[in-house]
């Protein structure tokens, strides 16, 4: 670590170390995600002292909130890679939601960092157990997931996905359900709702605009799906988190 403290980068590295939020390069982050995907718990444990989420720019003047935003960005990627490693979508999203709620209730930056370390190990363990119990996702299903993630702002049909991965739509639908534990349509809705949660918390976009941006068809349909998957309406989900962050900012003032 000392060799990084040269004349050119010394000051910025020192500041990052003081904040306990080291910068992770793009390739290092991909390496970490691949470790999760393999369920390689030992590699995570051996490297924890050096692993922190990549710095995603200045998202908030509040260091605690900044840490939470970076945590959520990281766990979103970890969740997707764990699914590619063989974890069912229901398991992955359940664990992800639990960790995001814990981060939301955290009292400071150090607590978020501790959650980050624990989260990496828990997801790697989940992948390891899944790989022992079942085969990892096939390439067509992985590509289907990648296609869905890249097209969340559009109406996605099974035919579109089948064409993108060069597989018969009906066969792909069956294969997807067997390997992930959920149907293609269910997975699309879960991904869109997950993305909408970040938009509700991190933007001022009206619920109607978020619904249209994610091609839900109608605001009422979006609200119905959101409540089905989260137990809350989009409006109440946003209000609770805005109020919580406002209260936290006032207490830190």
Segment 134-143, tens digit of pLDDT: 767 899 999 9
Determine, yes or no, domain membership for 118: yes
Instruction: List the single range of 85-89, 165-169, 208-212 with lowest mean pLDDT.
Output: 85-89
Determine, yes or no, domain membership for 248: no
Determine, yes or no, domain membership for 163: no
pTM of the entire structure?
Answer: 0.58
Q: CA 168 to CA 181: how far, in whole Å?
A: 19
Determine, yes or no, domain membership for 189: no
Mean pLDDT of the residues in the chain: 81
Per residue in 84-114, pLDDT (tens digit) is 888 888 889 889 999 998 998 899 998 998 9
Determine, yes or no, domain membership for 159: no
| Long-range contacts, 96-103 (Cβ 8 Å, 24+) | 99/71, 99/75, 100/71, 100/72, 100/75, 103/68, 103/71, 103/72
Determine, yes or no, domain membership for 47: yes
pLDDT of residue 245: 53
> In the structure encoding, which two tokens stand for residue 48, read together?
């924890």
- Measured at the CA of 211, the angle between CA 207 and CA 215, to 5 degrees, comes to 170
Domain residues for 106? Answer: 9-136
Per residue in 171-203, pLDDT (tens digit) is 999 999 988 888 999 999 999 998 898 888 888
Q: CA 196 to CA 98: how far, in whole Å?
A: 17
For residue 19, pLDDT over 80 is answered with: no
Determine, yes or no, domain membership for 187: no
Per residue in 125-161, pLDDT (tens digit) is 999 888 877 767 899 999 999 999 899 999 999 999 9
pLDDT of residue 13: 42
How many independent structural domains does the chain possess?
1
Determine, yes or no, domain membership for 169: no
Phi, psi of 195 (to 5 degrees): -65, -40
């Amino acid at each position: 670590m000392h060799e990084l403290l040269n004349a050119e980068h010394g000051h910025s590295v020192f500041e990052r170390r003081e904040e306990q939020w080291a910068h992770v390069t793009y390739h290092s982050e991909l390496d970490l995600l691949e470790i999760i995907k393999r369920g390689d718990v030992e590699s995570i444990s051996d490297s924890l002292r050096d692993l922190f989420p990549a710095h995603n720019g200045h998202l908030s003047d509040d260091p605690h909130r900044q840490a939470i935003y970076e945590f959520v960005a990281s766990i979103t990627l970890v969740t997707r890679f764990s699914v590619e490693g063989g974890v069912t979508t229901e398991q992955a999203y359940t664990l992800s939601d639990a960790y995001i709620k814990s981060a939301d209730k955290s009292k400071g930056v150090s607590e978020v960092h501790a959650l980050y370390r624990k989260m990496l190990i828990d997801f790697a363990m989940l992948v390891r157990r899944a790989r022992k119990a079942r085969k990892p996702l096939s390439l067509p299903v992985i590509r289907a997931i990648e296609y869905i993630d890249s097209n969340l702002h559009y109406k996605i049909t099974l035919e579109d996905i089948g064409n993108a991965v060069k597989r018969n739509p009906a066969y792909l639908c069956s294969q997807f359900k067997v390997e992930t534990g959920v149907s293609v349509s269910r997975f699309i809705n879960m991904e869109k709702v997950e993305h909408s949660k970040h938009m509700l918390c991190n933007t001022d976009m009206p619920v109607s605009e978020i619904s249209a941006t994610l091609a839900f068809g109608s605001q009422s349909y979006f609200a119905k799906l959101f409540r089905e998957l989260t137990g809350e309406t989009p409006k109440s989900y946003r209000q609770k988190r805005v109020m919580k962050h406002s209260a936290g900012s006032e207490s830190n003032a």
